[in-house]
Amino acid sequence: MPDRLTAIGLSVVGLLLAANAAAADVAMPPFYQAAGALAPDGPLGKVLKSEPVQTSIPGAHAWRIAYVSSDVGGRKTISTGLVVAPSAPAPKEGRPVIAWAHGTTGTAQNCGPSQVPDPAQALNEYFLIGGNSWTDYGLPSVETFVKDGYVVVGTDYQGLGAGGKHQYSVAATNGRDAINSVRAVASMSETGAGKTAVMYGWSQGGGATLAAASLGDYIAQTGTAADGVEFLGFAALAPDDVAAAAPSVPADEASAEKLLGGLTASFSDNVFNFTHFIMFMWGSQAAFPDLKLADIFTEDGAAMIDAIVSQKCVHVTSDTLNYAVGANYKSLLLTTPTNALAWSNALIKGSVEPVKPVAPVIIYWGTHDTVVPPVMGEVYRKQMCGLGGNITRVQLPGEQTHFSTPGASAPLYVPWIEDRVAGKPIADGCKSGG
């Protein structure tokens, strides 16, 4: 029976691929169509295009932006994003910048959170009661931050609105996009932004936040649209960190296969988590073009994955995968991957560098998180404390899931961010229980 079901599933795959061959590119609003036609010329953080956005946030105005960024391979890219700033006059020293790195929305060009009709508002989650869209969008605690006199910017990441393949959960790329969003805002005279910043992010964005914290040399680069940006802290909500979770850097195919096997098993317990896995592999291949999806998936599986994730956002991708192969989603995997060493090295390179963070880091996690294993944050803390970092790890009260983490952590991270901006002393998080 399983073989028959798999055959049926692959027949559906064939139909999907045939339909995809005639499919048009995903539809996007005019701003993003125009951004996708631009070249990533100019210094990092240069704003190539902007447009005002209506917002109901009191005392604020907002813009969509497209700006120059770069990826883990040093290639120039364009990222889009959303900026919200107080409308009152800015202080002489400029406003602090709070940079948001969002969680998973998908991998297609139309999955950027700033593309929704009314993006400049508080975080709205698809899964939660009260969610009013097909995707997550918005900026957590944005009204509080605007009242505090801060500018808030949320990157969409490259590939989610301005061309190119999105390097999903390649934290080293996503973190660069978040860093360059701060440079972009600091270069916009209309925001009143200064050059001090704090970054916060959730899930995929939590990993981006951890990666950004260890990119000291990248932050210190000169010749950007806004040199001299100083990060005061990094708050990561339910972050992923593949590099920290790896027991060691694989030295041969056997150890690399073991690493890939462990990662695959962690995200193969249900079709929704497996969706994250296939997007991660697709995004990693985009970051490291010498890799092939057919190294890990069957030929039909690789073709199916490319057809789906290049056209759809995460929840629709999951639904399509469930429709096409159902409970047999693991049949898309090869029994034994090929080129495992190259894949493992790429996944580690695309994750968080083992470098002391440039500022204090705090991690918030829930005991019922079944999407990103909390142990990743635990191992990260041990690694970075060993390098001399100041890392605090906070277990959230109650039984918090991956999706309740942003709301449950807000009463904790908001004052933590305000204290970093105010320059208040901070305890050594590596001396606490963690």
**Model pLDDT for residues 251-283, shown as the tens digit of each residue:** 899 999 988 998 898 889 999 999 999 999 999
Cross-strand partners of 81: 65, 155
Average predicted confidence (pLDDT) for the chain: 93
**Selection from 170, 201, 180 nearest residue 405 by Cα:** 201
pLDDT of 148: 98
The pLDDT of 429-434, averaged and rounded, is: 83
Please give the average per-residue pLDDT across 114-124, as a whole number: 96
For residue 83, pLDDT beyond 90: yes
- Percent of the chain scoring above 70 in pLDDT: 94
Domain boundaries, the chain: 30-241+354-431, 246-348
Taking the alpha carbons at both ends of the chain, their separation in whole angstroms is 48
- Token representation of residue 159: 């590939």
CATH 3.40.50.1820 fits 30-241+354-431, yes or no: yes
Predicted local distance difference test score (pLDDT) of residue 4: 43
Asked if residue 1 has pLDDT above 50, the reply is no
The residue to which tokens 């002393």 are assigned: 425
CA 230 to chain centre: 21
Backbone dihedral angles phi then psi of residue 324, each to the nearest 5 degrees = -75, -45
Tally of CB atoms within 10 A around 202 = 30
Residue 7 has pLDDT above 50, yes or no: no
Instruction: Say what the pLDDT of residue 432 is.
Output: 81
Region of 339 on the Ramachandran plot (φ > 0 left; ψ -120 to 50 alpha; else beta): left
- SS3 readout for 30-67: HHHHHHHCCCCCCCCCCEEEEEEECCCCCCEEEEEEEE
Instruction: Output Rg (C-alpha) for the chain, integer angstroms.
Output: 21
Asked whether residue 245 carries a pLDDT value surpassing 80, the answer given is: no
* Orientation of helix 204-213 relative to helix 171-186, angle to 10°: 70
Q: pLDDT at residue 9 above 70?
A: no
